[in-house]
């Protein structure tokens, strides 16, 4: 039960990242490059302090840390720029629907036991994702969709690489440190046209330090205790939470594609639990 509530708390943090990013960008209080960089920087600083306080040592940087850092940058860049053009809930649905496919593929590659029911659940979820992003059904920005799918690849890979590790807090700190180092030159190459206001700065810091830094450290602590396929399906609860945030804070209107996709994706999540032996 403790694991369930911890996972629910983490999913809420993930959803808040979507809400905070969208709030910052639509208000023109910060640009995507600066938001992503501040998010990585504040997350790194928070995690370094936590590692020093709890473990009394500095985070270790390894070859695997670099790979995880690159995956995190893929996610940060795609995520921030995508939210310039797509709504909160839709972005989260594309992100975690796409990462679900990446994580299921990783589970198969790692020879994790994937039942027929889980495969059927994934198929339903991917059908929902297809309806959401296919131009024949969707009115969403193709630019935003492609960028969020790019982010979903980074997030799926980041999650797979965190499965089985034994030092979640220290590893997450290292990941953010490397992500920040990679993000700084990217932000210089792709400068924002929007000046940073105190409001945008505040939202980026909260997203980086709390809902990302602490949230991802908690996620890395949960991952060794669950299967990759379970982790992927659990994350598909995030879009509904994010959509509620978009509705409450930005008055976003959800299309029929979102509702149909949500039913299919949540159905895909539920199947393994309904038919669990």
Contact 193, 76 (CB under 8 A): no
Q: Sorting pLDDT into bands at 50, 70 and 90, what band is 123?
A: confident
Q: Is 17 helix (H, G, I), strand (E, B) or coil?
A: helix
Q: Is 58 helix (H, G, I), strand (E, B) or coil?
A: coil
Instruction: Give me the pLDDT at residue 266, please.
Output: 72
Lowest mean pLDDT among 46-50, 52-56, 240-244, 260-264: 260-264
**Mean pLDDT of the 162-189 span:** 91
State residue 35's pLDDT score. 97
CA distances from 249 to 26, 169, 199, 215, 265 (A): 12, 31, 15, 21, 24
Mean pLDDT of 239-253: 84
pTM over cut 0.75: yes
Among residues of the chain, what percentage have pLDDT more than 90?
Answer: 46
pLDDT at 275: 66
Please give the Cα distance from 210 to 208 (Å, whole number).
6
pLDDT higher than threshold 80 for residue 181: yes
Report the number of distinct structural domains present in the chain.
Answer: 1
The residue segments making up the domain with residue 24 are 2-274
Burial class (CB in 10 A: 0-12, 13-18, 19+), 192: middle
- Give one DSSP letter per residue of 55-119, joined into a string: HSSPPP--HHHHHHHHHHHHHHHHHHHHTTTS-HHHHHHHHHHHHHHHHHHHHHHTT----HHHH
């Amino acid at each position: 039960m403790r694991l369930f509530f911890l996972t629910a708390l983490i999913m809420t943090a993930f959803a808040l990242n979507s809400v905070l990013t969208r709030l910052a960008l639509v208000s023109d209080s910060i640009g995507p490059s600066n938001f992503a960089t501040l998010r990585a920087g504040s997350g790194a600083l928070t995690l370094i302090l936590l590692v020093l306080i709890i473990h009394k040592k500095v985070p270790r940087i390894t070859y695997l840390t670099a790979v995880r850092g690159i995956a995190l940058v893929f996610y940060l860049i795609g995520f921030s720029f995508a939210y310039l053009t797509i709504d909160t809930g839709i972005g989260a649905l594309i992100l975690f629907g796409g990462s679900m496919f990446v994580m299921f593929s990783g589970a198969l590659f790692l020879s994790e036991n994937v039942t027929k029911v889980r495969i059927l659940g994934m198929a339903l979820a991917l059908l929902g994702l297809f309806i959401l992003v296919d131009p024949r059904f969707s009115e969403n920005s193709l630019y935003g969709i492609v960028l969020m799918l790019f982010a979903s690849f980074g997030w799926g890979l980041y999650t797979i690489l965190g499965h089985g590790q034994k030092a979640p807090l220290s590893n997450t700190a290292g990941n953010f440190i490397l992500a920040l180092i990679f993000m700084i030159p990217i932000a210089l190459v792709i400068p924002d046209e929007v000046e940073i206001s105190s409001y945008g700065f505040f939202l980026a810091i909260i997203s980086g330090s709390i809902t990302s830094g602490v949230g991802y450290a908690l996620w890395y602590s949960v991952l060794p205790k669950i299967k990759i396929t379970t982790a992927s399906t659990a994350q598909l609860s995030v879009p509904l939470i994010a959509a509620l945030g978009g509705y409450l804070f930005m008055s976003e209107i959800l299309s029929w594609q979102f509702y149909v996709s949500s039913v299919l994706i949540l159905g895909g999540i539920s199947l393994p639990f309904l038919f669990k032996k």
